[in-house]
Structure 1
Amino acid sequence: MIPEIETKSAVEIKTFQEAKLKIALKYLSENSPFYKRHFEKHQISVSKIQTLEDLTEIPVTTKDDIQQFNDDFICVSKSKIIDYVTTSGTLGDPVTFALTDADLERLAYNEAISFACAGVTSSDVLQLMTTIDRRFMAGLAYFLGVRKLGAGIIRVGAGIPELQWDSIIKFKPTYLIVVPSFLLKLIKYAEQHDIDLNTSGIKGAICIGESFRNDDFTLNTLGEKITEHWQIDLFSTYASTEMSTAFTECKAQQGGHLHPELIIAELLDDHDQPVKDGEIGELTITTLGIEAMPLLRFKTGDMMKAHNQPCSCGRTTLRLGPIAGRKKQMIKYKGTTLYPPAMQNILNNFNALECFVIEISHNTIGTDEILIRIASNSPSDELLNQIKDHFRAKLRVTPKIEWSDKEVIDALRFPKLSRKPILVIDKRK
């Protein structure tokens, strides 16, 4: 189930996207209160935007714009809105996104071709381990996509290893949709209750929310810890509410594939210009085919690399590598530039750690400070020194690390109304 456009030449894909872009620009200029003002303020004539390169003529849209003018992004009457979702608010206050019936159908199509990209077929059964309520787009998208693909789905929701294993044993799913670190809890539960992981029938996991790959697509510490116990395929999928689109790995597991009919992707530098091939840039997206809240040159805040070589799966589309980090969470620490995922990867090396949280703040002279709170059943100076040595070896710096009670850390990681664990708390203004 590979859409035909995803196997065309780079020139054909570009021509196809430029035709879609013209339709999107015309729609925005006629229906979006925000973009009508945007075009007028910056004296943009949308008819002159003919190529993907011309996009640089249009100033970018930011999360601040959506937070400040949320309702002005809606392009349809309230009577056409079928569903409301909110972002998770990882980098600020949550914003609301409205979806029409056509948008929900697009969401289903996106997830169906994304699951198919990872090798899921209509004969598979998937166990959903994320919430489908709390105005969460991802859980709804997964359900709609599995349904459109014709596969089966078991809606268990987040957490509770006992219930997850009860469903796995009872209903025999073949794939899990899961935050990868939760797989470690499933492994631990299985070991404690004499469940044979590798006869469970699980072929693979569609993983969200956390990176389990290094920059070269090899497994990082988290990925290695999962697969050394459970011989399943791990597929990374990257998406956001703002995009209503997913970049999912295929069987080659060399980055998440772009769907050219759904989204235009740019990687930009600090001056909002495209980065050179192979360089890390901020993913900036233009949505295609969205009715209620389409976005133009929206900066996601996520830093990553693009890969343009054709893939062994037959797709010729751009692929996105693992997220290096979020731009707003970039840390300048003792002359070194850091992103939280690099620190998380180091901490995941230590099985003795039960949990951790990373706090970023400014000190009295305005420079960045890092405090990592860690919890363990067996805290010791020796373990703490091993962790510090690992930081020095891998990142050349050692942040402040201190022991905390697990209950204290869990209270920080699971704030009220949060739909997913918070591993980074940024207190900088």
Structure 2
Amino acid sequence: MIPEIEKASAEAIQQLQEQRLRELINYITQNSAYYKRIFREHNLQASDIKTLADLAKLPTTSKEDLQQFNDDFLCVDRRKIIDYVTTSGTLGEPVTFALTDNDLNRLAYNEAISFDCAGVTANDILQLTTTIDRRFMAGLAYFLGARELGAGIIRVGAGIPELQWDSILKFKPTYLIVVPSFLLKLIEYAHQHGIDPNKAGIKGAICIGESLRNEDFSLNTLAAKIKKDWNIPLYSTYASTEMSTAFTECSAMQGGHHHPELIIIEILDDEEKQVEEGMPGELTITTLGVEGMPLLRFKTGDIVQAHTSKCSCGRNTPRLGPVIGRKKQMIKYKGTTLYPPAMYNVLNYFNEIDAFVIEIDHNDIGTDEICIKIATSNPTNDLLQTIKDHFRAKLRVLPKIEFHDFKTLQELRFPKMSRKPVIVIDHRL
């Protein structure tokens, strides 16, 4: 089911994207109050933007723009809106996105070809272990994508290992859609109840919300722990509500594939210029084919690296490596630049850690400080020293580390209205 455009030459892909870009520019300059204003303020006409290179003439769109002018991005009469979703609000106030019937069809197509990247076919059954309610786009996208593909889907929802295993044993799904760390809970439950995960008939897990790989695509600590007890393929995905598009790994597991018919990507440096090939930068996207609230040069805040070498699966599109970190969460700590995912990797090494929260703040002299709060059933000095030694060995710096009770950390990790655990609390923002 690989779309022909994704197997086409770079020239053909560029030609299609530029045609779709011109259609987008004409659409938003007629229908988006926000982008009408942007074009007017920068003395630009729709005819000025014809090629991908012309995008550099336009300013970028930020999360703050979306928060401040949310309604101005809407391009349709409200009677055409079928579904409302909101962003998770990880780095600020949640933003509302309105989807039309065409947008839902696009979302279904996106997820169907993304599932296909991971080897899912119409003969498979997927078990959805994430929420489909609470204005969450991803759960809806998974359901629509499975339906578009013709695959079966079991909507179990989040949590409850007992119910998950009951569904696995009863309905025999072949793939799980799951947050990777939850697989550890499923493994723990299986071991406690005499279930062999490797005999459950699961062919793979499509993983969301947490990274599985290091920058060289080797398994990170979390993924290695999962594979040790449940030896199934783990497919990384990367997506966001704002871009209504997913980047999903194929069997080569060398990054998530770009769907050029759905989205234009730029990777920009701090001066908003395209980075040199192979260098990391901030992913900036332009949505194609979105009717309700299309975005032009939207800065995601995520630092990524694109890979353009030929992939064994036959797709000729770039691939995005694992997210290195959120630009706003970059930490300058004792002369070292850190992103939270590097600390996740260290902490996930320890089976004794039941939960953790990373707090970031400025100290009295204006430099960054890190405090890692850990919950464990065995809060000994020996464990604390071992964790500290591991930080020194892996990251060459040692943040402040404290033991806290599990209930306190759960209250920090799951604030009211949150759809997912809050692992980083950044007081600098």
Q: TM-score range by the shorter chain?
A: over 0.9
Equivalent positions of 1:98-117 (< 5 A) are: 98-117=98-117
Gap runs ≥5 in structure 1: none
Residues of 2 paired with 1:420 and 1:396: CA distance?
Answer: 30
Equivalent positions of 1:191-202 (< 5 A) are: 191-202=191-202
Counterpart position of 1:82? 82
Residues of 1 paired with 2:11 and 2:390: CA distance?
Answer: 46
Residues of 2 paired with 1:309 and 1:50: CA distance?
Answer: 27
Counterpart of 2:112, as a letter, is A
Residues of 1 paired with 2:277 and 2:383: CA distance?
Answer: 41
Report Cα offsets for 1:350-400 as digits up to 9, x if no partner.
111111110111112221110000011111111111111111111111000
Residues of 1 paired with 2:341 and 2:46: CA distance?
Answer: 39
Is 1:408–2:408 an aligned residue pair? yes
Q: Could you say what secondary structure the match of 2:229 adopts?
A: coil
Moved more, 318-327 or 413-422: 413-422
Q: CA deviation at 1:412?
A: 0.6
Counterpart position of 2:389? 389
Is 1:122–2:116 an aligned residue pair? no
Counterpart position of 1:43? 43
Residues of 1 paired with 2:53 and 2:380: CA distance?
Answer: 56
Report Cα offsets for 1:301-357 as digits up to 9, x if no partner.
000100011210000001000000000111111111100000000000111111111
Counterpart position of 2:21? 21
Counterpart position of 2:218? 218
Equivalent positions of 1:132-151 (< 5 A) are: 132-151=132-151
Equivalent positions of 1:267-278 (< 5 A) are: 267-278=267-278
Residues of 2 paired with 1:375 and 1:273: CA distance?
Answer: 43
Report Cα offsets for 1:71-113 as digits up to 9, x if no partner.
0000000100000000000110001000000000000000000
Q: Could you say what secondary structure the match of 1:169 adopts?
A: helix
Report Cα offsets for 1:30-60 as digits up to 9, x if no partner.
1000000001111122212221111111000
Is 1:11–2:23 an aligned residue pair? no
Counterpart of 1:185, as a letter, is K
Q: Could you say what secondary structure the match of 2:299 adopts?
A: strand
Counterpart of 1:393, as a letter, is A
Report Cα offsets for 1:234-276 as digits up to 9, x if no partner.
0001000000000000011100000011000000000111011
Counterpart position of 1:368? 368
Q: Could you say what secondary structure the match of 1:228 adopts?
A: helix
Counterpart of 2:125, as a letter, is V
Give the count of matched residue pairs: 429
Q: Could you say what secondary structure the match of 2:65 adopts?
A: helix
Counterpart position of 1:332? 332
Residues of 2 paired with 1:25 and 1:393: CA distance?
Answer: 50
Counterpart position of 1:157? 157
Q: Could you say what secondary structure the match of 2:181 adopts?
A: helix
Residues of 1 paired with 2:416 and 2:405: CA distance?
Answer: 19
Is 1:421–2:421 an aligned residue pair? yes
Residues of 2 paired with 1:361 and 1:84: CA distance?
Answer: 34
Residues of 2 paired with 1:174 and 1:356: CA distance?
Answer: 32
Residues of 1 paired with 2:383 and 2:55: CA distance?
Answer: 51
Residues of 1 paired with 2:386 and 2:50: CA distance?
Answer: 56
Aligned Cα root-mean-square deviation (Å)? 0.7
Residues of 2 paired with 1:373 and 1:46: CA distance?
Answer: 51
Residues of 1 paired with 2:44 and 2:290: CA distance?
Answer: 21
Counterpart of 2:287, as a letter, is T
Counterpart of 1:37, as a letter, is R
Counterpart position of 2:302? 302
Q: CA deviation at 1:3?
A: 0.2
Q: Could you say what secondary structure the match of 2:273 adopts?
A: coil
Residues of 1 paired with 2:224 and 2:360: CA distance?
Answer: 27
Is 1:171–2:171 an aligned residue pair? yes
Counterpart of 1:139, as a letter, is G
Counterpart position of 1:288? 288
Q: Could you say what secondary structure the match of 2:16 adopts?
A: helix
Q: CA deviation at 1:210?
A: 0.3
Report Cα offsets for 1:174-214 as digits up to 9, x if no partner.
00000000000000000010001111010100000000100
Residues of 2 paired with 1:423 and 1:96: CA distance?
Answer: 23
Counterpart position of 1:236? 236
Residues of 1 paired with 2:12 and 2:136: CA distance?
Answer: 35
Report Cα offsets for 1:270-296 as digits up to 9, x if no partner.
011101111110000000000000000
Counterpart of 1:129, as a letter, is T
Residues of 2 paired with 1:318 and 1:25: CA distance?
Answer: 24
Counterpart of 2:67, as a letter, is Q
Counterpart of 1:152, as a letter, is G
User: Scaled by the length of structure 2, what TM-score is found?
Assistant: 0.99
Moved more, 363-372 or 183-192: 363-372
Counterpart position of 2:71? 71
Residues of 1 paired with 2:50 and 2:78: CA distance?
Answer: 32
Residues of 2 paired with 1:290 and 1:20: CA distance?
Answer: 11
